[in-house]
Amino acid sequence: MKDKQNILIIGAGLCGSLLALRLGQRGYNVNVYEMRPDLRTVEISAGRSINLALSDRGFKAMKLVGIEDKVRELCIPMNGRMLHDVEGNMVMAPYSGRDHEYINSISRGLLNALLMDEAEKHENVKFHFNKKCKSVDFEKTTALFEDHNSKDEFVEDADIIIATDGAGSVMRQSYFLGKKFLFSFSQDWLSHGYKELSFHPTENGDYKTYKNALHIWGRDSFMLIALPNLDGSFTVTLFLSYEDGEYNFGNLTTPEKVIEFFQKYFKDALELMPNLVDDFFTNPTSPLGTVKCSPWHYKGNTLLMGDAAHAVVPFYGQGMNASFEDVTIFDKVLDEDHDDWETVFKVYEQNRKQDTDAIADLSMDNFHEMKGHVNKAIFREKRNLEMALEKNFPNDYSSKYSLVTFQENIGYREAMLRGRAQDKAILNMLADKIIDLNDDLKTNLEKVKTVTEEILEDDMVAKNLKH
């Protein structure tokens, strides 16, 4: 592929800004059109997750573009889940038995701004703000935009267009509505929505609760989580059904009812939230969903990337990480020196789709795990065993969570298959008392490995039989 070609990117979010930086480094002429104002100069209102968990797949992409150290400066390590029960007791459940494996809380705005700053250092990369894409003509490789201020419409063309315009992608919509090729698309909404709340810092600017953890109040059919920010505050997110259950977003309509709900289920959190009612009635309630589609590209003209191609529910903390990993994988395909963009797009999608489908499914699994399972005795026993295995046999064992979150050199699909088999093996053996946590750890490791391999083999046989 020749450099100096003109690439148009729609959306200067996390994926689009990283992609612009990488393609700029590779020598392409890159123009990025973003519908919002420049977030480095204008305060953009809350409502869209203020902070996120960044982990190893995301860092791999940061290394690729040479900004890992700058990104680390923005991070707060979270070593585990701090589980809060209804009585207000807290217990820390580490994410891994290996000390160097943890996730990081990072501000969406600061990270996005850094990526744009770095991209703009390349004179061949330009950002255009307040320009909303209205549709894409994927046959002509042109996009129609509207200027937010003047309301003028204009058309831009390019050699290729890559849409990183998020879960509600306009280009994906153009694919769907255009009916010019066989385009499959599914969008599954969760019955739960989310609302962002906050713990403010103490008067001295300190954190009101333990800083280096992702706090979780799991209550089976709903949950609250909190991630730390650099200024001493926490961003707190309530995940709750729109309609079902005694308390839901539909019936929490008065300050009294909201306080009653928090008093009953999140008493210790409520003590840290004198601002609860304000936050609750100011901040929007937003939906959560999974988007899958294919193909992601139209010939060699246009390509979907990031949430535009594969939005997931946020319960594995992997949506941004997966979008960053898209750029890593795309870059690798560019290294292969294919002759034309169509082959690049095809190979990229072939390499990538099964992994983004896997993280979509894993994210739904984790929704149930975080709400309820983390509190159940057998799941805690499993976690304890896995922690001990990771600590004592760091090269021999990784839990499903570690495979997904910290093993950036294997795909999500491989992590899912192995991780699920391990979970099944351990849970069955604990239930059937084939594993005793007091037994020698090496013996337990061998049992887990043997049964995991048997399950993986059975799965393979079952799959082959089906075909």
Residues in binding contact with ligand FAD, number by CB under 6 A: 32
Contacting residue, 1, 6, 36, 40, with ligand FAD by CB under 6 A: 36
- Smallest distance from the beta carbon of 10 to ligand FAD, in angstroms? 5
Q: Which of 104, 124, 141, 164 binds ligand FAD (CB under 6 A)?
A: 164
Whole-angstrom distance, CA of residue 402 vs CA of residue 413 = 13
β-pairing, 80-84 vs 214-218, is parallel
Among 314, 358, 387, 390, binds ligand FAD (CB under 6 A): 314
Sign of CA dihedral 439, 443, 445, 446: negative
Residues 45-84 that bind ligand FAD (CB under 6 A): 49, 52-53
In the complex with ligand FAD, the residue whose CB is nearer, 108 or 122, is 108
Q: Chain-centre distance of CA 116, in angstroms?
A: 20
Which residue type sits at 69? D
**Buried/exposed code over 453-467 (b: 16+ C-beta within 10 A; e: otherwise):** eebbeeeeeeeeeee
* Contact yes or no for 145/33 (Cβ under 8 A): yes
Closest CB to ligand FAD among residues 149, 204: 149
Task: Closer to ligand FAD by CB, 20 or 276: give it.
Answer: 20
Element (H, E) at 172: helix 170-178
Site string for ligand FAD, 227-266 (x = CB under 6 A): ----------x-----------------------------
Tell me whether residue 196 or residue 429 sits nearer to ligand FAD (CB atom). Answer: 196
Q: Of the listed pieces 63-71, 245-253, 313-321, 366-374, which binds ligand FAD according to CB under 6 A?
A: 313-321
Residue 306 in contact with ligand FAD, rule: CB under 6 A: yes
- Residue 336 tokens read as 């292969």
Neighbours of 66 (CB within 10 A): 11
CB of 163 to ligand FAD, least distance (A): 8
Residue with smaller CB distance to ligand FAD, 132 or 380: 132
- Cα(328)–Cα(333) distance, rounded to whole angstroms? 9
| Binding-site string for ligand FAD from residue 168 to residue 197, where x marks contact by CB under 6 A and - marks none | --x-----------------------x---
Phi-psi category of residue 91: left, alpha or beta, with phi > 0 → left and psi -120 to 50 → alpha: beta
Among 240, 320, 421, 451, binds ligand FAD (CB under 6 A): 320
Query: In one letter, which amino acid is 227?
Result: L
Instruction: Spell out the alpha helix ranges (H) of 179-298.
Output: 255-265, 267-270, 276-282
**Which is nearer to ligand FAD, 291 or 344 (by Cβ)?**
291
Q: Is the bond preceding residue 77 a cis peptide, omega within 30 degrees?
A: no
Find out whether the peptide bond into 295 is cis, omega within 30 degrees of 0.
yes
d(CA 206, CA 198): 14
- Radius of gyration for the chain, computed over Cα atoms and rounded to the nearest angstrom: 23
Q: Given candidates 218, 317, 411, 419, which one binds ligand FAD under the rule CB under 6 A?
A: 317
| Positions 6 through 35 that interact with ligand FAD (CB under 6 A) | 10-16, 33-35
Q: How far is the CB of 143 from ligand FAD (least distance, A)?
A: 9
Q: Which residues contact residue 274 at a Cβ distance below 8 angstroms, ignoring those fewer than 6 apart?
A: none
Q: Which residue is nearest to ligand FAD (CB)?
A: 13
**Per CB under 6 A, which region of 151-159, 252-260, 316-324, 451-459 contacts ligand FAD?**
316-324
Return the residue of 56, 101, 156, 307 that touches ligand FAD, per CB under 6 A.
307
Interface with ligand FAD by CB under 6 A: which residues? 10-16, 33-36, 49, 52-53, 132-133, 164-166, 170, 194, 237, 306-308, 314, 317-321, 323
